[in-house]
Structure 1
């Protein structure tokens, strides 16, 4: 593991529930389509080319560092690169999103997936090294992966889904096959995240983006136990891990049992109340509704200050959104929001 002294370590301190003079701020999808500079790059390359070319991935990763002044960078990549490395035939189409040409339908499809992915994902490690060289210890770099249930949902649906019908049929009618697939994805995810740690990330986030599709019992069986396994098997001394899902306001008590350092909370919950129900030493991240960033700047400031004041006496708070920035949110509003947070003091 590469170790560098981080000049602005607010994010790391907050992630480990240590005292900070103000909340650190970063935002999910902060290196994305709401920035003109992102499109200047995107118009030259396909999405997967951007992910797989370390210098380009580094360029995009650093856009919000340079343009927004956030307290942590997150590697530009995608949660589905693990599924592609396993053998999923992945493509991205503008306006459609990710598609797998060979969706999982039976045990033979699962058996065809490889768990020997490290060489295929070497480009991610290379991108991490380029980013860290350029950051030169200024702020932390967050690595990430998709959690097994969420990755399974894409492989079974063949892409995005509004109702997860095929996924739920698969879980209900073929639970043994679902567990076989989940176990493979979990094994790959552990390898992948440990590779990121070795390459030099300073923190990790596990994205179980679509866990809200599950009932409580199904979350326990098909999501939670695999997230527990992943977090337990990471070689991450000094590297905090954030657990995120849509539905964290519901599943937070279970998520805490996996022993992440931080739980990222959606905007449906009172963040302070969630924090106070969690075991001591687990920080929270969130949880502004990203749609607030469409509003007038006076409204944005009011809503942010309300959240910051609500969390004033709580150790272990990272400001973020309840989910990612939407592509058409005005850049100036995002920059304004970051500035408001950075001016705040406990």
Structure 2
């Protein structure tokens, strides 16, 4: 890792070191709100984009070139691990991910593979191409889906509004749930360490649907596996970001896993969360992405209010409380990034 990357705004903030302004990147920043994304997407399927290193690199670089953000994030998907394990995954426009072979029984779990790194080699190849393109200018963030979130897709067979099948599975078949979570965690550890070996500068663990769980179920079926994953990463010099929708509730427990950064949803006061965490854990967030639909004067007011609230706090990365929606105006996102990059904390 170059000195420039180590001393970048993002890396300093992630390791709770002083920065002259908050670094900015946004979840789903290389996504469907960009016309340039659609120029690529209209030629290839989503999985083709993920599995072709040059195309994944093209998409990863869009926000670097068009927005000027402070960190890039690998273009991929949290479900590639589940597919590698044996899930029959497809993506349909307007529907989202689907597994045609959902996991519901002991036999289904037994059939899932864990020695799957060869099937994920395309991710390692993409990281190397992206790092060549970035040329040491800004850090590259890799990521994976956390075991509970991946489990929910495998059991539901796709996205869910209420996670009914998932919760029934946890309640009626907890031993099977732990078997499945253990397999996913094993794959996730080797997968994230592969990304480190390939050259990512940071990692984010996405537990997107943790908010579906009660406190005790989160601890048993999510948190304990995230602790195991984070403890087994080759993380020297690599900041680990822990994200879930529900981090405003679960942040105290998330801190026990010892990530470097907790990414916070928009339901909490970010300063209160920061002050409740052990020293040395940074926070990332937490603008409501719907603010980016608003007039530019509103966007400015909300971002500057967040920055004023976080004044004097070391370890703050600006991000959204969740990902950018597909129909947010690109000009608004560009305006927000430029506003943040012009901002300076006065000494």
Structure 1-normalised TM-score? 0.99
Give 1:1-346 correspondences, 5 Å limit: 3-6=1-4, 9-346=8-345
Aligned with 2:138: secondary structure?
Answer: coil
Q: Which runs of 4+ in 1 moved over 2 A?
A: 3-8
Hey, what's the Cα distance between the residues in 1 that align with 2:239 and 2:139? 11
Hey, what's the Cα distance between the residues in 2 that align with 1:279 and 1:255? 11
**Shift of residue 105 of structure 1?**
1.1
Hey, what's the Cα distance between the residues in 1 that align with 2:181 and 2:8? 35
Hey, what's the Cα distance between the residues in 1 that align with 2:213 and 2:227? 17
- Kindly indicate whether the alpha-carbon contact (under 8 Å) linking 1:34 and 1:329 is maintained by their aligned counterparts in 2: yes
Hey, what's the Cα distance between the residues in 2 that align with 1:341 and 1:159? 36
Aligned with 1:120: secondary structure?
Answer: helix
Hey, what's the Cα distance between the residues in 2 that align with 1:162 and 1:241? 29
Aligned with 1:119: secondary structure?
Answer: helix
**Shift of residue 5 of structure 1?**
3.4
**Shift of residue 277 of structure 1?**
0.2
Hey, what's the Cα distance between the residues in 2 that align with 1:186 and 1:15? 24
**Residue range with higher mean Cα deviation, 292-301 or 5-14:** 5-14
Deviations 1:112-131 (A, max 9, x none): 00001100000000000000
Hey, what's the Cα distance between the residues in 2 that align with 1:206 and 1:36? 28
Aligned with 2:39: secondary structure?
Answer: helix
**Shift of residue 6 of structure 1?**
3.0
Aligned with 2:285: secondary structure?
Answer: strand
Q: Which runs of 5+ in 1 are unaligned?
A: none
Hey, what's the Cα distance between the residues in 1 that align with 2:263 and 2:74? 17
Hey, what's the Cα distance between the residues in 2 that align with 1:4 and 1:184? 35
Aligned with 1:287: secondary structure?
Answer: strand
Structure 2-normalised TM-score? 0.99
- Kindly indicate whether the alpha-carbon contact (under 8 Å) linking 1:57 and 1:127 is maintained by their aligned counterparts in 2: yes
- Kindly indicate whether the alpha-carbon contact (under 8 Å) linking 1:83 and 1:151 is maintained by their aligned counterparts in 2: yes
Hey, what's the Cα distance between the residues in 1 that align with 2:121 and 2:154? 22
**Shift of residue 236 of structure 1?**
1.3
Hey, what's the Cα distance between the residues in 1 that align with 2:104 and 2:320? 35
- Kindly indicate whether the alpha-carbon contact (under 8 Å) linking 1:5 and 1:137 is maintained by their aligned counterparts in 2: no
Computed over aligned residues only, the root mean square deviation of the Cα atoms, in angstroms, reads 0.6
**Shift of residue 4 of structure 1?**
3.0
Q: Which runs of 5+ in 2 are unaligned?
A: none
- Kindly indicate whether the alpha-carbon contact (under 8 Å) linking 1:72 and 1:139 is maintained by their aligned counterparts in 2: yes
Deviations 1:156-195 (A, max 9, x none): 0000000000000000000000000000000000000000
Hey, what's the Cα distance between the residues in 2 that align with 1:105 and 1:147? 19
